Amino acid sequence: MVIDVLERGDLSFPRSLPEFQRMFPDEAACAAYLERARWGGGFICPCCATFGDPYRFANRPTVLRCRHCQHNSYLTAGTVMERTHTPLSVWFWAAYLVTSQTPGMSAVQFQRQLGLPRYETAFQILHKLRVGMVRPDQDQISGNPAEHVEADETYVGGRTRGKGKGVHGMALVAGAVEVKQRKLSSSLNKRRTVRYAGRVRLAVVQDRSAKSLGGFIERVVTPGTTIITDDWSGYATLEKRGYLHSAVAERGDMQVAETFLPIIHLVFSNLKTWLRGIHHGVSPQHLQAYLN
């Protein structure tokens, strides 16, 4: 359910903490707000299309029951709160914190502010809210003639101990990152490189085939962009797909990789470090949820 409260005259948006406290003092107020968001003109049963006031339950504020067909409608269905066991008031507080704290906050700070007993709960709520804030029509990266994109793929997660050689329980992640050039302010600047990362796109892909990797590039990179990859055959069709493609023969030489593809490798390194910090192992399904 996608709702832009700033374009809905019937949905007020709290502009301060006292205003938020007045608008959402309890679970019932939060539930009423969700009901107005979904059915601004009055409740219509999604099962039988009957219009009218539904049954409401004091101990189950997210459930509305149709008086005609007895079908239960859930206010959180189709939202980041679907199937949650966390009270609506906590979710509303969490959403307010995420949208009002410009610098952002860590999951530890989030847990402390909301008074949540478990770090895992705070992390999941924070992640779901951040995912919900991403535009569905996310921009493709680069397109700037003065920039190029580095693209590669890597395996992450999983546990291979005791399972022999090969890849076991791991997810294949494709990545693309804009490479920008930093303008040196003076000749006294001693930086070894002027390259730095712009926008990043990551996604779990099925395999290393041209269909999977080329399809990923088409989804996230603007046609006509210069793309640098290794010489894996999965990227061989990029020129046919409308890109300026430069393939670098790494042949296992890390120095070549660090020279021509340093930014995407740094992105993958940071991704793996972050995943190790939240999970000992991560399934492809969970990883896809994180990267969306």
Kindly report, residue by residue over 38-59, the tens digit of the pLDDT: 898 899 999 999 999 999 998 9
SS (H, E, C) the chain: CCCCHHHCCCCCCCCCHHHHHHHCCCHHHHHHHHHHHHCCCCCECCCCCCECCCEEECCEEEEEECCCCCCEEECCCCCCCCCCCCCHHHHHHHHHHHHHCCCCCCHHHHHHHHCCCCHHHHHHHHHHHHHHCCCCCCCCECCCCCCEEEEEEEEECCCCCCCCCCCCCCEEEEEEEEEEECCCCCCCCCCCCCEEEEEEEEEECCCCCHHHHHHHHHHHECCCCEEEEECCHHHCCCCCCCCEEEEECCCCCHHHHHHHCHHHHHHHHHHHHHHHHHCCCCCHHHHHHHHC
From the options 3.90.220, 3.40.50, 3.30.450, 3.30.420, give the CATH code of 148-183+192-291: 3.30.420
Average pLDDT, the chain: 83
Local confidence band at 233 (pLDDT 50, 70, 90 cut-offs): very high
What does the alpha-carbon distance between residue 41 and residue 8 come to, in Å, rounded to a whole number? Answer: 12
Is residue 202 packed enough to be buried (19+ CB in 10 Å), middle (13-18) or exposed (0-12)? buried
Among left, alpha and beta (phi > 0; psi -120 to 50; other), residue 126 is alpha
pLDDT given for residue 278 in this prediction: 54
- Span 74-99, mean pLDDT? 91
Confidence at residue 143, expressed as pLDDT on a 0 to 100 scale: 75
Say yes or no to pLDDT of 29 above 90. Answer: yes
Residue among 202, 213, 210 nearest 284 (CA): 202
Task: Return the sign of the alpha-carbon dihedral for residues 164, 166, 167, 173.
Answer: positive
The pLDDT value given to residue 41? 85
Decide which of 143 and 97 is more confident.
97
**212/233 Cα distance (integer angstroms):** 12
pLDDT at 87 over 60: yes
Read off the pLDDT band of 280 (50, 70, 90).
Answer: very low
Q: For residue 76, what pLDDT is reported?
A: 92
pLDDT score of 286 more than 80:
no
Residue 162 pLDDT exceeds 90: no
Summarised one tens digit per residue, pLDDT across range 104-141 is 677 888 899 999 999 889 888 988 887 777 665 567 88
- Sorted by where each begins, the domain ranges of the chain are 5-132, 148-183+192-291
Ranking 74-78, 85-89, 131-135, 239-243 by mean pLDDT, the lowest is 131-135
Q: pTM, whole model, 2 decimals?
A: 0.58
